[in-house]
Amino acid sequence: MPGPSPAPGSGSPGSRRTPFLWGVATSAFQLEGSPHADWTSWDEILSAKPTVTNHYELYREDLALLRNLGVNAYRFSLEWSRIQPREGVWDEGAVAHYQEIIDILRRDNIEPMVTLHHFTHPLWFIKKYPWHEDASVEHFFRYVEKILPALRGVRYWITFNEPYVLVLAGYFEGCTPPALKNVPLGVRALKNILTAHAAAYDIIHAGCPDAQVSVAHNMAALAPWKRWNPLDKLLARVAKYFYNHSLLDAFLAGSLRIKFPFKEELVIPVPIKGKLDFFGVNYYTRIHMRFNPFKKMGVEMRHLDIDGRGLTDMGWEIHPRGLEKVLRYASALDVPLIITENGIATRDSQKKIAFMKEHLDAVERCRERGMDIRGYFYWSLIDNYEWLQGLDARFGLYRVDFDTLRRIPTNAAAYYSYLIKNRKF
C-alpha cells in the first residue's frame, strides 16, 4: 500500500516549467461502468460481457502498463455516480479507490490529470436536476466541494470532458441522457455547464493555488461537402464557429454567442472569462457538412476519405492536418495547450502507428511555429466501452480480450514507448 500523498500542490512542479506531458487518457465509466449511472445501454453490454474490462478490480495491473509504456502523465476520470450513488450519500470507499490510483501514479512519478465529469451522471441527478435546470449547478458545486479536499496530490484538473458533445448528444440528437431533442433546453444546459465550470475553477484554486484547470474541448476540422456549393460553405462556417470557436470566445469575452443559419444570433453571459490555466484539446477527425432540407435543421454530415488514408473502424476520416488547424484556433486563448485526447479505433496496429506518427508530426510543426503545446495524451490505454459502439471500437494501445480480460500489448504500444524516449519536445 503506497504511503500518503502530499497535500494538493505540495511537491508538484508548480514553481518550475513542467516537462512535456507524454500520457494516455481513459474515462472511469468506459473502463469500470457503474450500477448507479444514467447510461442505460451499459446494461445491454453487461448482459453479454458481465465484467467488460473489470478495471475497478484490476486497476493496479492496468496502472503497471503505464510504467511499461514510459509515460509521465495519465489522464483519468472520477465516476461521480460511484462517489455519490444517492443524493446526499457519499461513498468513502470509492473516494479511497481514486486516491489510491493517485498515490500509485505519484509513487511512479506519473503526473495525474483528473477529470471531474466525463459524460456520466448519478441516476438521481439526471432524473431530478438535469443540466437545463439551474439547480444542476449547485449539485455539481457540492460534488466538487466535497471531492476536492478528499483527494491529495493532484495538480491538473479537467472540470468537464467535451461539454459541447454532452449537449449535442443529450439535447440536440437525444441519443444520450437526458435523451431530449430540444435545442432551447440544450442552450440552457450549455450555459449551466459552463457556469458549473466557473464554480469548480474557483473551488479548485481556493484549495490549490498552483492548480492547472481546464475543460477538454472536442474540436474537429469542418469543411463543406461541396466546396462550390454556397449553402454547404455556409453550414461549414456556422458549424465551425459554434463547435470550435464559440467556447474559445466565451473564455475570452465572458459571453456565449450561438449562431443559427438564417436566425438571430444568441448572446448569453457566462461567468468563465479568464477561468482557464491551460486548454485541453480533444481531436480525432474532419467532418464534411452538406445542406439537406430533408434532414434535421437542414444539416447532413459525413466523413469522406479525401486524403486517401482510409477511415477508422468508427467510420471517421484520418486527417492529421486538422489537428494543426484546431491547435491554431485554440492558440488564440494565449494559454498553454495540451492535447488531452487523440486516437484511432482500429484493429490494425500499423494503422494505429501511422496515425500516431502523423499526428505527432503535426504537433511538432505547431511547436516549431511557436505554439505553446505542453502535452499529448493518446486515447486510450486499453480497449474499452465506446459510448454508442459498445465493445467494437478498439482504441487501446493494449488490446483487451473481453472473454479472458487479458491485456495484450499491440505494436502501437511499443511504438509509443519509442516515441516517448526518442522524440524530444
Query: Per-residue pLDDT for 7 more than 50?
Result: no
Instruction: Give me the pLDDT at residue 247, please.
Output: 98
How is residue 93 written as a grid cell? Answer: 470507499
Query: What pTM was estimated for this model as a whole?
Result: 0.94
Local confidence band at 425 (pLDDT 50, 70, 90 cut-offs): confident
What share of the chain has pLDDT > 90, as a percent?
Answer: 83
Query: Per-residue pLDDT for 386 more than 60?
Result: yes
Instruction: Give me the pLDDT at residue 346, please.
Output: 98
Q: How far apart are CA 397 and CA 377, in angstroms?
A: 12
Torsion of CA 41, 46, 51, 57, to 10 degrees: 50
SS3 state of residue 97: helix
Local confidence band at 1 (pLDDT 50, 70, 90 cut-offs): very low
Local confidence band at 4 (pLDDT 50, 70, 90 cut-offs): very low
Q: Is 210 exposed, middle or buried (0-12, 13-18, 19+ CB in 10 A)?
A: middle
Summarised one tens digit per residue, pLDDT across range 353-374 is 999 999 999 999 999 999 999 9
Catalogue all structural domains in the chain, each as residue range(s) with its CATH number: 21-214+317-422 (3.20.20.80)
Pick from 190, 189, 196, 88: nearest CA to 138? 196
Which residue's C-alpha cell is 489510491? 100
For residues 155-164, give the mean pLDDT.
98
Instruction: Give me the pLDDT at residue 136, please.
Output: 98
Instruction: Give me the pLDDT at residue 351, please.
Output: 97
Summarised one tens digit per residue, pLDDT across range 221-247 is 999 999 898 999 999 999 999 999 999
Backbone φ and ψ of 218, nearest 5°: -70, 125
Query: Per-residue pLDDT for 309 more than 90?
Result: yes
For residues 170-199, give the mean pLDDT.
95
Summarised one tens digit per residue, pLDDT across range 110-136 is 999 999 999 999 999 999 999 999 999
Instruction: Give me the pLDDT at residue 15, please.
Output: 34
Summarised one tens digit per residue, pLDDT across range 249-283 is 999 999 999 977 667 789 999 999 999 999 999 99
SS3 state of residue 9: coil
